[in-house]
Chain A
Amino acid sequence: MWTWFYRLASPPYVYRVAALWLPWLLGGALLTIGYGLIDGLVFAPPDYQQGDAFRIIYVHAPSAWLSLFAYVTMAVAGGIGLIWRIKIGHAVAAASAPIGASFTLAALVTGSLWGRPMWGTYWAWDPRLTSELILLFLYVGVMALRSAFDDPNRGDRAAALLAVVGVVNVPIIHFSVVWWNSLHQGATVAKLGKPQMPGSMLWPLLAMLLGFMLFYGAVLCIRLRGEVLNRERQSAWVREAIKS
């Protein structure tokens, strides 16, 4: 029953499968992001309140979603590495961190640029904005902690522990607009049963969300192959893979 799980934990298998998935993920990302951009920028109507400034959502929401998804991936992979001592878990966590950090920064910058015309300010110490900023600090902390140790195994364990503890921030970010008074608007896409947007605005957003997820998968595959090579460079299979 657990054969697939143990196979996933095998570095040579992951190295090979990541190479197989990469062109499909990257191709899918290019297609869906291309469609989302054209539909969102050209064909979606302007919002009745926000005008064309609402189009920022097509890059802001996927970046924000990815910032959370990459963190949860990092924490779960780190947790697997910590609990079951599966090396590939730490490799996935290390590969996910810089991607998530960059999209957290993108979510903060695009949110700030959207906030200026809508709220009259680039930044407010709002619960959603502040918790997203804490997420960026957590990413930076996890990456810094991993590289602070001479022994990479200790660095992996310390970074995984911080990532697992920091995952408590993810529901705080998500529910901050419900729990506290927030300038930030509530959920629009998550309410699948009762969408808050018309289809002409929603479809490009869903395409961008899917495109960013596929892009994350593609970049994760590239980074993961590098991580696996770094960590397994003494192994015979790595020498064979590089020679061929």
Chain B
Amino acid sequence: MTTGGFWAMGGYARFVWPCFAFVGAVLAWNLWSARSSAAAARSRVRRALVMAAHDQS
């Protein structure tokens, strides 16, 4: 298979590549969203710890 033939996908390129791109975006979003929600949870706990320490002092 040539490089041009690979990207052409037998004439179905406009259907095949958007599918792979969309699922790639879904995989990337899942990782980003999960990491950012976990980071937000950690920073909420840290803030609560700082406020608790501030209240005690």
B-contacting residues of A (Cβ < 8 Å)? 37, 41-42, 46, 51-53, 55-56, 59-60, 63, 98-99, 102-103, 105-106, 109-110, 113-114, 116-117, 215, 219, 222-223, 225-227, 229-230, 233, 238-239, 242-243
Contacts and interface: CB of A to CB of B under 8 A. Distances in A.
B16 A56 contact: yes
Q: How large is the interface on B (under 10, 10 to 19, 20 to 34, 35 or more residues)?
A: 20 to 34
A102 B15 CA distance: 20
A207 B23 CA distance: 16
13 contacts: A52-B9, A99-B34, A102-B26, A106-B23, A106-B26, A114-B15, A114-B19, A117-B15, A219-B34, A222-B31, A225-B38, A226-B38, A239-B45
Given A229-B41, A242-B42, A242-B49, A56 B10 contact: no
Interface string B1-38: 10000100111100110111011001101110111011
B19 A113 contact: yes
B31 A219 contact: yes
A51 B30 contact: no
- Chain A contact residues, majority secondary structure: helix
A59 B10 contact: no
Contacts of A99: 30, 34
B41 A226 contact: yes
Contacts of B19: 56, 59-60, 109-110, 113-114
B1 A42 contact: yes
Contacts of B6: 41-42
Nearest to B38: A226
Given A63-B26, A233-B44, A243-B49, A223 B12 contact: no
Given A98-B33, A219-B30, A226-B40, 14 more contacts: A41-B20, A52-B9, A53-B10, A59-B19, A59-B20, A106-B23, A109-B19, A114-B19, A215-B27, A225-B41, A226-B34, A229-B42, A233-B45, A243-B49
